[in-house]
A = this chain, B = another copy of it.
Amino acid sequence: MEFRINRRDFLKGFAMVQTIVERRTTIPILSNTLIQTDQNNITLTATDLETAIRTHFPATVTLQGQASVSARKLFEILRELPDSEVHFTKKDNNWVTLTCEKSIFNIAGMNPEDFPPLPAFTEEDFHPFPTRQLGEMIEKTVFATSTEESRYNLNGVFFKAIDIDDQPTIRMAATDGHRLSLIDRTGLRFSNLDRGVIIPKKGLLEIKRLIADAAPREGEQEDLVHLSLSENSLVAKKNGIIVLTRLIEGEFPDYESVIPTENDKRIRLSREGFTACLKRISTMASERGEGLVFQIRKGSMAVSSSSQDFGDAKEEIDIDYGGEDLVVSFNGRYLLDAMAVMGTEEVSFELKDSMTACLLQPVGEIGHLCLVMPMKL
């Protein structure tokens, strides 16, 4: 195996695969990148067995083949090289020689045959999906996933095709058991998605990065990403880069039954003002996860917190509310996370009583809601 490649392209490829490669893996080859020639292209592949990324670049290949070397070490080396041509040769012992101007590196390699293969997929499996909507749906749900390993079926976002008023709709929902975020976007179709699948958080974040990094192709009317869903995995492709993520096996919980339908106490709030208030009052609640207390009465809402170590905080917000008094407590972090992904000027804060989850919805935007469970008073 032997090729010459522009250092800048090669570095860009290694920068892209870095986030997939686990720093501390018990399987040594997973800290490596697989480098393969394909006519006059070089393909780089990295995987942690759950997520994988594959990207390619033009190169002058003089001997076809494949090699496997440390992803991090190659990245460190390429970062320090001058912007010049890199000459790459594999040796008989799987080591690699890399030369660039007056520098020579002999880099430890492993047998590329041992690199775990990616699941097979073909061009025909891919279907277009609008980039902007996919990015928005990921952003507005992924924060609510659970990070508890034991709750593996909550470690990802539920992705499902539904019909709303006879309109084909794509839904994403995520919950960690304490809060939920759900987004519906109508007019979007996706096959094989009627039962719904759970996509792991890491894979979704890689797909989001793929969408953000990849510039639209020239002449493309709507910016599209191509998705392929099989029984076990979702593959996203844009500008020749492929991100693959295994699906989470297991049932997503019955989130729909948790969404309260009788929250009759509705308060409209300025998103910016409410966010600032939550941040201020959270300063006195951050240490031990104490909740913020909301005292709602005619015309005003008091938000307060108290911390054993540091003291207490309270703030009044004028509200247009004429209903019954209510005292309820929520985790300030969860409310702030929900505020952070809403894009509207105003939000609706809907409550029932101190035992019922609140609903947060962007005013004037259909199809997005966040739910937060109350805390004990």
Contacts and interface: CB of A to CB of B under 8 A. Distances in A.
Given A280-B103, A315-B102, A309 B80 contact: no
Contact of A103 (B82, B105, B315): B315
Interface in A263-291: 276-277, 279-281, 283-284, 286
Contacts of A281: 103
A259 interface: no
B80 A311 contact: no
A314 interface: yes
Given A70-B310, A310-B73, A80 B315 contact: no
A45 to B, nearest CB: 20
Nearest to A309: B108
A95 B316 contact: no
A165 B281 CA distance: 64
A111 to B, nearest CB: 16
A104 B311 contact: no
Given A73-B283, A102-B316, A283-B77, A82 B311 contact: no
Interface in A65-107: 70, 73, 76-77, 80-82, 95, 102-107
A280 B70 contact: no
Contacts of A317: 102
A350 to B, nearest CB: 23
Contact of A313 (B70, B105, B283): B105
Contacts of A70: 310
Q: Which of A102, A108, A316 has the most CB of B within 10 A?
A: A102
Contact of A312 (B82, B106, B279): B106
Contact of A280 (B73, B81, B311): B81
A340 to B, nearest CB: 15
Contacts of A277: 103
Q: Which of A73, A276, A310, A315 has the most CB of B within 10 A?
A: A310
B315 A284 contact: no
A87 B196 CA distance: 55
A78 to B, nearest CB: 9
A208 to B, nearest CB: 29
Contact of A106 (B73, B103, B104, B311): B311
Nearest to A286: B76
A280 B310 contact: no
A283 B108 contact: no
Interface string A149-166: 000000000000000000
A311 B107 contact: yes
A76 B82 CA distance: 44
Contacts of A309: 108
Nearest to A287: B73
Interface string A162-198: 0000000000000000000000000000000000000
Interface string A106-122: 11100000000000000
A302 to B, nearest CB: 9
A104 B311 CA distance: 11
B312 A80 contact: no
3 smallest beta-carbon distances between A and B, as pairs: A80-B280, A107-B311, A103-B315
Given A70-B310, A104-B315, 8 more contacts: A73-B283, A76-B286, A77-B280, A102-B317, A103-B280, A103-B281, A105-B283, A108-B310
10 contacts: A77-B284, A82-B276, A95-B311, A103-B277, A103-B313, A103-B315, A104-B313, A105-B313, A106-B311, A108-B311
